[in-house]
Amino acid sequence: MKVLTIHAGLECGYFIAKIPDMDIISVGPTLLDIHSPDEKLLIDTVEPFFKVLCEVLNQRK
């Protein structure tokens, strides 16, 4: 898994405009050619992402 900073997260921009002091991130598996007819999800990135997400959420207990 890699941690990258990219320009994305339209939904994050919407929420942060409504609640400016909110801490917010956008995370997910790897997507290519987003919002185009060629949009793809790299299946092999889903399981590692899901495992990390579950670990993070379990730490909040």
Q: Report the 3 state secondary structure along the chain.
A: CCCCCCCCCHHHHHHHHHCCCCCCCCCCCCEECCCCCCCEECHHHHHHHHHHHHHHHHCCC
Q: Domain for residue 32, yes or no?
A: yes
Domain range for 37: 25-61
Q: Domain for residue 59, yes or no?
A: yes
Q: Which two tokens stand for residue 41?
A: 């999800």
Domain count, the chain: 1
Q: Domain for residue 2, yes or no?
A: no
Confidence at 11, pLDDT banded by 50, 70, 90: confident
Q: Which two tokens stand for residue 32?
A: 């290519």
Rounded to whole angstroms, the Cα distance separating 61 from 29 reads: 24
Highest mean pLDDT among 4-8, 12-16, 29-33, 47-51: 47-51
- Measured in residues, the chain has a length of 61
Please tell me the pTM assigned to this model: 0.66
Q: Domain for residue 4, yes or no?
A: no
- Residue 48: its pLDDT value, please? 95
- Residue 37: its pLDDT value, please? 95
